[in-house]
Chain A
């Protein structure tokens, strides 16, 4: 059983939704990022989503764009990101890791090589933002052979006619983009998420994570009750940005402050009143 399936089964057994923080690899520098990553499971991350920096992140809002720029300046690469994950796996073999990024770095590396290296490094799932099902075939084969899950994005604009095709090769979980927009900008209403969850569950038995625009422990909690997990990205990387000096270097308290925020969000998800 894959790490992702096991984790969602365990969450179900515990009777709670999961919390998925998003962090950008190499943000703000490789060593600080490694420390953040190492601390995430204890801070309550049920699954970790790692953003692979790309020069042209056309689906991301200002916060994650800025995180990607910081990371690229710090020498980020897809290859390096996979090495960091390989290191992480030396001490953690339970927390699933999902990569979120754009297709070009993968294409440049070669789909088959990427799939094999990623699986071997300990990556569990893959979200490729600019690869809709129509374009996915060349990556799907290698990724499925390597045993990675293909996590599909579903948007408010994805209608019922389109849904079966989008869900066809999905595995691990489904990622519902809760707003028609870019990451971290507007905030969805819980009503709209409930409606969407109801609609999606008619089409799939896969666990449902919801992200884009979820910023507070309260909303994360509400979302995790309706869906199976809540993803928080922009709010986390903004906390990184808030702990940088004028030259963009990490201030001493950065790692603790970021993990503190993650803890408060995951506590929010775990609260049952």
Chain B
């Protein structure tokens, strides 16, 4: 396989896991620009604009300003003392990205992309959303920067994430329920692409995860890498050394790549990406693209996908609307093949259990998405040595999930 040779060269001239993608948007076999010809010129324009923007001190100044004063960064790195004592093993830190404005890590990326859209002179923004966190973040920055916003959301998700639908509407966005296909995140993304094809001249598509056609996986990763950069400084300040382990949940994988990327070349830092196993990977009702999928092409990139032998995309299942997607960002597919990151998974039941444990022990109600990462921590950390330093990305808060979880647990509301 070519893949083994794709330890690409970094600018410093050493073998690096951080140098991708290449000029054609590839991470080894994965990534690329699989879009209709109508969109291709626009995709190239976005790439050019992004590469110019990230070299522009004014763009970077605006990013820093809004991240600090509007999003509320840096987010704390918090030692979860009671959780650590409860498990009796590794020392667990939580990166508190759920404290960001809008309640998740999504703000980091949307800020960058909306600023880019403005630079490009675009006057209309569209986005897809699953759990609604990306939709809320997009609606928020569109309100702040006064740009009309349309959010596509699967009809199934509109029902199970009602609080976020209301938030987007309050922020002035138009929410369009998508009734085609499986009526979830993948269908919302199809609808986003269809809208974009029909409005190429004035519209910018804010993709919410580190997937889609190049340059999105790279761009979203870069914007989310603030998570890992802060973590690096914070853990050194707190412990005087790098962590031993990083853990994050994975749907498309933007919070995970944001945490992992600045550490990829630190060989001693092990990393776990936690996919959603739904009712169990063996049941076929899950959203674990790496755990139960094969390479394929969807939504502009080649990556691991849940699919049948005919190449038809399978419906994903997860209790978490944010992880309920049959694919994964292409850089994760590459990191999995390289063996640099280990991809594990947690079921709906385990996530629900972790959700409650976290609430009671730490007074933090996590979103169902990071509850999957936490489920892995609960399963694994107790057997690890006490001097092992672990950072888990608490990438979203659970306000949006309170009603759905209460319903699952049979609690009266």
Q: Does B389 contact A (CB under 8 A)?
A: no
Q: Does B311 contact A (CB under 8 A)?
A: yes
A57 proximity list for chain B (CB < 8 A): 190
A65 proximity list for chain B (CB < 8 A): 180
CA distance A238 to B38 in the complex (A): 24
A residues 24-76 near B (Cβ < 8 Å) are 54-62, 65, 69, 72
A69 proximity list for chain B (CB < 8 A): 180-181
A residues 64-113 near B (Cβ < 8 Å) are 65, 69, 72, 77-79, 102-109
CB distance from B217 to the nearest CB of A (A): 15
A72 proximity list for chain B (CB < 8 A): 312
CB distance from A68 to the nearest CB of B (A): 10
- Whether B310 pairs with A78 at a CB distance below 8 angstroms is yes
Checking B39, B198, B201 against A185 with a beta-carbon cut-off of 8 angstroms, the contacting residue is: B198
CB distance from A127 to the nearest CB of B (A): 10
B181 proximity list for chain A (CB < 8 A): 55-56, 69
A55 proximity list for chain B (CB < 8 A): 181, 312-313
Q: Does A135 contact B (CB under 8 A)?
A: yes
The contact size tier of chain B is 35 or more
Q: Does B40 contact A (CB under 8 A)?
A: yes
CA distance A130 to B33 in the complex (A): 9
A54 proximity list for chain B (CB < 8 A): 311-312
The chain B residue sitting closest to A53, CB to CB, is B312
- Whether B180 pairs with A109 at a CB distance below 8 angstroms is no
- Whether A108 pairs with B200 at a CB distance below 8 angstroms is no
- Whether B37 pairs with A177 at a CB distance below 8 angstroms is yes
B41 proximity list for chain A (CB < 8 A): 157-159, 162
Chain A interface mostly helix, strand, loop or mixed? loop
Q: Does A258 contact B (CB under 8 A)?
A: no
Q: Does B115 contact A (CB under 8 A)?
A: no
Q: Does B309 contact A (CB under 8 A)?
A: yes
Interface 0/1 of B191-202, CB less than 8 Å to A: 001100110110
Interface stretch of the complex, out of A7-15, A148-156, A229-237: A148-156
Q: Does A268 contact B (CB under 8 A)?
A: no
A residues 106-153 near B (Cβ < 8 Å) are 106-109, 129-132, 134-135, 152-153
The chain B residue sitting closest to A106, CB to CB, is B311
- Whether B313 pairs with A104 at a CB distance below 8 angstroms is yes
- Whether B312 pairs with A131 at a CB distance below 8 angstroms is no
CA distance A69 to B312 in the complex (A): 11
The chain B residue sitting closest to A65, CB to CB, is B180
- Whether A58 pairs with B194 at a CB distance below 8 angstroms is yes
Q: Does A182 contact B (CB under 8 A)?
A: yes
Interface 0/1 of A159-171, CB less than 8 Å to B: 1001000100000
- Whether B310 pairs with A181 at a CB distance below 8 angstroms is no
Q: Does B90 contact A (CB under 8 A)?
A: no
- Whether A157 pairs with B200 at a CB distance below 8 angstroms is yes
Q: Does B395 contact A (CB under 8 A)?
A: no
Q: Does B94 contact A (CB under 8 A)?
A: no
- Whether A134 pairs with B40 at a CB distance below 8 angstroms is yes
CA distance A185 to B199 in the complex (A): 13
Number of A-B residue pairs having CB atoms within 8 Å of each other in the complex: 123
Interface 0/1 of B296-309, CB less than 8 Å to A: 11111010010101
Q: Does B120 contact A (CB under 8 A)?
A: no
Checking A62, A107, A134, A162 against B297 with a beta-carbon cut-off of 8 angstroms, the contacting residue is: A107
The chain A residue sitting closest to B192, CB to CB, is A58
Given contacts A56-B186, A59-B197, A182-B197, contact A132 B310 (CB under 8 A): no
- Whether B297 pairs with A103 at a CB distance below 8 angstroms is yes
Checking B32, B42, B180 against A135 with a beta-carbon cut-off of 8 angstroms, the contacting residue is: B32
CA distance A109 to B311 in the complex (A): 8
Among A61, A129, A157, A166, the most chain B Cβ lie within 10 Å of the Cβ of: A157
A177 proximity list for chain B (CB < 8 A): 37-38
Given contacts A78-B311, A104-B307, A107-B297, contact A58 B40 (CB under 8 A): no
Checking A61, A104, A155 against B298 with a beta-carbon cut-off of 8 angstroms, the contacting residue is: A104
Among A78, A177, A182, the most chain B Cβ lie within 10 Å of the Cβ of: A182
Among A65, A107, A185, the most chain B Cβ lie within 10 Å of the Cβ of: A107
A residues 198-227 near B (Cβ < 8 Å) are none
- Whether A135 pairs with B34 at a CB distance below 8 angstroms is yes
Q: Does B35 contact A (CB under 8 A)?
A: yes
The chain A residue sitting closest to B310, CB to CB, is A77
CA distance A182 to B190 in the complex (A): 11
Q: Does A180 contact B (CB under 8 A)?
A: yes
Q: Does B24 contact A (CB under 8 A)?
A: yes
CA distance A56 to B178 in the complex (A): 13
CA distance A181 to B197 in the complex (A): 5
- Whether B35 pairs with A132 at a CB distance below 8 angstroms is yes
CA distance A102 to B298 in the complex (A): 9
CB distance from B202 to the nearest CB of A (A): 11
Given contacts A104-B297, A180-B38, contact A134 B311 (CB under 8 A): no
Checking A59, A61, A104 against B311 with a beta-carbon cut-off of 8 angstroms, the contacting residue is: A104
The chain A residue sitting closest to B314, CB to CB, is A55
- Whether B296 pairs with A104 at a CB distance below 8 angstroms is yes
Q: Does B36 contact A (CB under 8 A)?
A: yes
The chain B residue sitting closest to A156, CB to CB, is B38
CB distance from A169 to the nearest CB of B (A): 14
- Whether A153 pairs with B36 at a CB distance below 8 angstroms is yes
Among B193, B194, B201, B296, the most chain A Cβ lie within 10 Å of the Cβ of: B194
The chain A residue sitting closest to B315, CB to CB, is A55
Task: Other than A106-B311, A107-B297, A130-B300, give 19 A-B pairs with Cβ distance below 8 A.
Answer: A56-B298, A56-B299, A56-B313, A58-B194, A78-B311, A105-B310, A108-B296, A109-B310, A132-B33, A132-B36, A132-B40, A134-B40, A152-B37, A162-B40, A162-B41, A177-B38, A180-B198, A180-B201, A182-B197
10 A-B contacts, Cβ less than 8 Å apart?
Answer: A56-B313, A65-B180, A77-B312, A104-B297, A108-B294, A129-B36, A134-B24, A157-B42, A159-B41, A182-B198
